[in-house]
């Protein structure tokens, strides 16, 4: 059974940085696509950044140049380095993995950008 455990959310001032981490388990063959989504109050859940195994990263336009996704396939972890954070980045961030054609979600971690 695939399980995702997220960590790293919190409160940060505008212009600050945070790193989110997600540890995935439950697969002996790894995960094809790993990534991050976010959902702000009253809004839909949107893709932030995704990365396929041994492939390129894909970013939402709103975070390009500020966020960096990375993954360690040996450890089945995915990270999101967030720099130059803005108040509009405030949301619950969810780890997502694709495994054998099915999507799995973490429990979510709150990121609040406020002075």
Question: How would you write the pLDDT of the chain (115 residues) with one tens digit per residue?
Answer: 899 999 999 999 999 999 999 999 988 788 889 999 999 999 999 999 999 988 789 999 999 999 999 999 999 999 999 999 999 999 999 999 998 889 999 999 999 999 9
CB of 89 closer than 8 Å to CB of 113? yes
- Sequence-distant (6+) residues with CB within 8 A of 111 are 9, 10, 12, 18, 20, 38, 82, 85, 89, 90, 91, 92, 93
Token code pair at residue 112:
């609040």
Longest dimension (CA), the chain: 43
């Amino acid at each position: 059974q695939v399980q995702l455990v997220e960590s790293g959310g919190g409160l940060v001032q505008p212009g600050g940085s945070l790193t989110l981490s997600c540890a995935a388990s439950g697969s002996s063959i790894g995960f094809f696509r790993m990534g991050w989504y976010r959902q702000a109050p009253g809004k839909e859940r949107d893709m932030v950044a995704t990365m396929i195994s041994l492939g390129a990263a894909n970013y939402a336009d709103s975070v390009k140049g500020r966020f960096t996704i990375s993954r360690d396939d040996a450890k089945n972890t995915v990270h999101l380095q967030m720099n130059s954070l803005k108040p509009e980045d405030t949301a619950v961030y969810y780890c997502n993995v694709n495994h054998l054609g099915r999507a799995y979600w973490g429990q979510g971690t709150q990121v609040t950008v406020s002075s």
